[in-house]
Structure 1
Amino acid sequence: MSRPGQLSHASLEQAAHWYVRLQAPGGALEQLRWQTWVAQSPEHLAAWQYVQRVSQRFAPLLEQPHGASRALRSSRRQTLKTLLVLGVGSTLAWGTWRHSPLPRLASGWSADYATANGETRDALLTDGSHVWLNALSALDVRFDAAQRLLRLRFGEVLIDTAKDPNRPFLVDTEQGRLQALGTRFSVVQGDEHTQLTVFEGRVRVSTLNPHPRIVDTGQQLTFTRNHFNTASVASPAREAWSRGVLLADNLPLGELIAELNRYSPGHLGCDPAVAQLPVMGSFPLKDSDQALHLLQAALPIRVERPMPWWVSVGPQ
């Protein structure tokens, strides 16, 4: 699960701080201070809800009959009561839901192919084409006698198309339609744009813009519904993830951490103070601990773990 993009690093860290403090008995005063903090702003409430959602992944680990677990369970009961008082079912809560990744992820439950946090998947389609889905992605397949159509709902897909001169191979995103011309390529569905990277062959891109674009081998293009950005050199990173590798070539640390977060069962956050540090190298996508160890050895950063499932990267 990715965190809602509108929440600040500071609010998320404060919410995690409160979660840790509430694991230990603190009395009514501590509960009152926490409730006051949550009620201060919609962002605090949204950050607290996010911490709760992430923690639910680890709930089975907290069911051991020792004091800390009992205190945490008690804290959770109080949390539920307070969130009800603050209006989880209110317009505010709906706004948090609507602008978070959850509705989009829920839409993937009905997709033909979908992946969860930390999961990748590859499949051989009926025409012989091969597709790889990155973490947190959803894809529909609609093949008939006239065409082969994929619809990328969200996330990223790498495609190696099979030849079929009688049926074009098409990929639809929210921003346009791609037609493969004997091709190996990747497609990323962003919030407001599509990114296309062509490794072999060519791809025709059609949008609301009346002039389609042809993207050649070794090119990368980002586009919206009516605008094409300038094509750039294809990034090998858009293919390396299918092999479990995260490639960084002057990639900002914040973007690298966000990518690792897609493969982490918990939360990985990056302080804005270090988010623009450039990163070079290759990192294991599915071993975030090792990746963070490598990053900490190479950069002036500090990795903090206030909880086993909550990791924050900040200045040294």
Structure 2
Amino acid sequence: MSAPGLDPAVLDAAVHWFVQLQAAKPAERATLMPHWQAWLGAHEAHARAWTEVEALWGRFDALPQGPGAGAAAQQALQHSRRRALRRAGSAALGLLAVASPVLWLAQQRPELHTAHGQTAHWTLADGAGVWLNSGSEVRLHAQAPQTHLRLEDGELFVESGAQPLRLSVGALQLHSQGAHLALQRRDAAPWLHVFEGAVRVAGPEHAPYWVRAHQARALQDDGQGRHAAAQVQRESWRRGLLVAQSLRLDEFLQELGQHHRVWLSCEPAVAARRLFGSYELAQLDHSLQAAAQALGLRLRRPLPGWVQVLAA
């Protein structure tokens, strides 16, 4: 893996930064970014090492993975990671074994999960369809009389069938039968968006209530969460699209960034600009260019792996 003349210690440092940034939640990543940027800009060799680590991770993405892959494919994926990281250094191997969502979760937890930049779909035994967005984690309990899905982190979309389906997030219990819903839990209070049917929400601190089709609600433990209209972007990601309906630019960049290993940011002066339209999640450069053009802004790439949106 190492380029001629590249110090293995520098390469190990690049892997260390890459693992930290991939494992961090958005708020944690924002704290790490200035320190990473300082390291990246300190020497030309740092940028070269970072580019090699990005290329290595891209090769991992091309391998079969996830619950739909067979045992041989899973073993090939893990073997390829270990072999490549041995070339990067023993320190890098230890870091990735601890922090990689794909490898660590696959080995340690019987859960539905997706890595950063990955989405996935499962059909459960009771006929319900479950989609997980990038970087999500769900515990699955399929015992009778009803399936139970517990959202630990990230976002899921469910098309529940004729059988009752129970979901939980934090201390709250959600009951669905025939509903189409999105449940999101990242840095703030969880949000529930209902697109079809109705979902009953119960918690220890309040009386049960219903969230019905085309409604959304912040799920506070005290039952006092904000109300809003269900947002199509909370289901469009499973079709590979980010649908913006008066979406703030900073929120657009956060959504897009969840599907790529690139840091996206904008000037505070343009953060509240509103976007409309459909953008392909997989086409990062095209979507960024289209958004910048729509708002009369420009793009700047100050360092590898970092794109800024600035006033024209």
The reply to whether TM is greater than 0.5 is yes
Q: What pairs with 1:138-177 in structure 2 (closer than 5 Å)?
A: 138-164=137-163, 168-177=164-173
1:128 corresponds to which residue?
Answer: 127
Q: What pairs with 1:29-40 in structure 2 (closer than 5 Å)?
A: none
Q: Cα deviations across residues 210-262 of structure 1 (Å, max 9, x unaligned)?
A: 21110111111112211332422211111111101101111110000001101
d(CA) in 2 for partners of 1:178 and 1:54? 43
Q: 1:126 to 1:8 in 2, by over 3 A?
A: closer
Q: What pairs with 1:195-214 in structure 2 (closer than 5 Å)?
A: 195-214=191-210
- The one-letter amino acid paired with 1:296 is A
8 Å CA contact retained: 1:57, 1:265: no
d(CA) in 1 for partners of 2:289 and 2:170? 37
2:96 corresponds to which residue?
Answer: none
8 Å CA contact retained: 1:205, 1:212: yes
Give 3-state SS (helix, strand or coil) of 1:146's partner: coil
Q: Structure 2: which 5+ runs fail to align?
A: 1-21, 58-87, 92-98
Which has the bigger relative contact order, CA under 8 A and spacing at least 6? 1
Q: Cα deviations across residues 278-305 of structure 1 (Å, max 9, x unaligned)?
A: 1111111111111011012112322112
d(CA) in 2 for partners of 1:244 and 1:276? 24
Identity of aligned residues (%): 28
Q: CA RMSD in A?
A: 3.2
Give 3-state SS (helix, strand or coil) of 1:126's partner: coil
d(CA) in 2 for partners of 1:235 and 1:23? 44
Give 3-state SS (helix, strand or coil) of 2:222's partner: coil
8 Å CA contact retained: 1:132, 1:158: yes
Match of 1:19 among 40, 47, 61: 40
2:294 corresponds to which residue?
Answer: 298
d(CA) in 2 for partners of 1:53 and 1:199? 45
252-261 or 142-151, which moves further after superposition?
142-151
Give 3-state SS (helix, strand or coil) of 2:236's partner: helix
TM-score normalised over the length of structure 2? 0.70
d(CA) in 2 for partners of 1:263 and 1:148? 29
Give the CA deviation at 1:156. Answer: 0.6
126-135 or 230-239, which moves further after superposition?
230-239
Give the CA deviation at 1:105. Answer: 9.1
8 Å CA contact retained: 2:161, 2:177: no
1:246 corresponds to which residue?
Answer: 242
1:94 corresponds to which residue?
Answer: none
Give the CA deviation at 1:272. Answer: 2.1
Q: Cα deviations across residues 163-195 of structure 1 (Å, max 9, x unaligned)?
A: 12xxx3111111511100321111001334111
8 Å CA contact retained: 1:114, 1:139: yes
Q: How many residues align?
A: 250
d(CA) in 2 for partners of 1:222 and 1:265? 28
Q: What pairs with 1:1-316 in structure 2 (closer than 5 Å)?
A: 1=22, 4-5=26-27, 12=33, 15-16=36-37, 19-23=40-44, 57-58=53-54, 60=56, 108-109=105-106, 110-164=109-163, 168-316=164-312
Q: 1:24 to 1:216 in 2, by over 3 A?
A: closer
TM-score normalised over the length of structure 1? 0.70
User: For the pair shown, which has the larger CA radius of gyration, 1 or 2?
Assistant: 1
Give the CA deviation at 1:20. Answer: 3.1
Give the CA deviation at 1:16. Answer: 2.4
d(CA) in 2 for partners of 1:274 and 1:192? 23
Q: 1:144 to 1:302 in 2, by over 3 A?
A: same
8 Å CA contact retained: 1:104, 1:154: no
Q: 1:59 to 1:284 in 2, by over 3 A?
A: closer
Q: 1:3 to 1:231 in 2, by over 3 A?
A: closer
Q: Structure 1: which 5+ runs fail to align?
A: 26-50, 62-75, 81-101
